[in-house]
Amino acid sequence: KAGVTQTPRYLIKTRGQQVTLSCSPISGHRSVSWYQQTPGQGLQFLFEYFSETQRNKGNFPGRFSGRQFSNSRSEMNVSTLELGDSALYLCATKRGGTDTQYFGPGTRLTVL
Amino acid sequence: QKEVEQDPGPLSVPEGAIVSLNCTYSNSAFQYFMWYRQYSRKGPELLMYTYSSGNKEDGRFTAQVDKSSKYISLFIRDSQPSDSATYLCAISQGGSEKLVFGKGMKLTVNP
């Protein structure tokens, strides 16, 4: 069974730009969560989408947004990029409820 | 107080050593406990998943949960260089609640 796919794998942007990251879940998984991972803060939860609705949200500014499509694929968008947004962005998917999450390889975003 | 505390290490051990990794948590509502392993430049992969207090064994790995102390552990027996990775604990209240992660402990097993 194919794993979680994230595109692109690497991205370099400059301050003030915006970026869109994509996550394709494992077949049958309807929940997609997004995380930001940095050396200083570790893995921090951004938001979760389930059946095209945002179900949970972390403590990030409104510059971070996401959406989910009817095929469960999800995108996250970061507008007005800041240097501190440089991080590994991970998505994790699960079927729903208490099922365990499976992570993608991540998108490494560098903001210059 | 953070929801989950994990010593970030790093930890360096010789091959064959027994490794003990630990996390503490603050909210007694947490019911689901996981350990993830993350190799360099990769996403975390699920290693162990437990629901109740007690031990769960899978090969060289044992996960232990003590709900009364709000303490979870991962033991690695006969550690191998291929176990060198960052280990993250993760906990959840279950249902649609989010996972909360520890900061991760970087482990190096030296041949």
The secondary structure of A15-37 as a DSSP string is TT--EEEEEEPPTT--EEEEEEE
State whether A97 and B95 contact (CB < 8 Å). Answer: yes
How far does CA B99 lie from the centroid of its chain?
Answer: 13
The confidence score (pLDDT) of residue A1 equals 64
Facing A33 at nearest CB: one of B34, B98, B102: B98
Which chain B residues are Cβ-neighbours of A51 within 8 angstroms?
A: none
State whether B44 and A42 contact (CB < 8 Å). Answer: no
* Min Cα–Cα distance to chain B from A17, Å: 25
Which of A16-20, A25-29, A40-44, A69-73 shows the lowest per-residue confidence on average (mean pLDDT)?
Answer: A40-44
Which chain B residues are Cβ-neighbours of A90 within 8 angstroms?
A: 43-44
End-to-end, the C-alpha distance of chain B in Å comes to 38
| Cα B72 to Cα B40: distance, rounded to the nearest angstrom | 24
How far does CA B109 lie from the centroid of its chain?
Answer: 16
Contact predicate A102/A85, CB 8 Å:
no
**Overall average pLDDT of the A78-102 stretch:** 90
Identify whether A8 is preceded by a cis peptide bond (ω within 30 of 0).
yes
State whether A42 and B104 contact (CB < 8 Å). Answer: yes
**Overall average pLDDT of the A31-60 stretch:** 93
Q: Please enumerate in sequence order all residues whose Cβ is within 8 A of that of B101, keeping only pairs 6 or more positions apart, or say none.
A: A35, A42, A43, A45, B4, B36, B88, B89, B90
The confidence score (pLDDT) of residue A20 equals 98
Contact predicate A59/A45, CB 8 Å:
no
The confidence score (pLDDT) of residue B94 equals 77
The confidence score (pLDDT) of residue A98 equals 64
Burial class (CB in 10 A: 0-12, 13-18, 19+), B14: exposed
User: Could you tell me if residue B81 is left (phi over 0), alpha (psi between -120 and 50 degrees) or otherwise beta?
Assistant: alpha
Q: Give chain A's contact residues with B (Cβ, < 8 Å).
A: 4, 6, 33, 35, 41-43, 45, 48, 50, 55-56, 58, 90, 92, 96-98, 100-106
* Min Cα–Cα distance to chain A from B43, Å: 4
Identify whether B10 is preceded by a cis peptide bond (ω within 30 of 0).
yes
CB-side neighbour CA atoms (13 Å) of B96? 13
State whether A56 and B97 contact (CB < 8 Å). Answer: yes
Q: Give chain B's contact residues with A (Cβ, < 8 Å).
A: 32, 34, 36, 42-46, 49, 88, 92, 94-104
**What are B23's strand-pairing partners?**
B6, B72
Can you tell me which residue has the tokens 């969560």? A33
Segment A14-30, tens digit of pLDDT:
999 999 999 999 999 99
Q: What is the mean pLDDT of chain B?
A: 93
C-beta pairs of B51-59 under 8 Å, 24+ apart in sequence: none
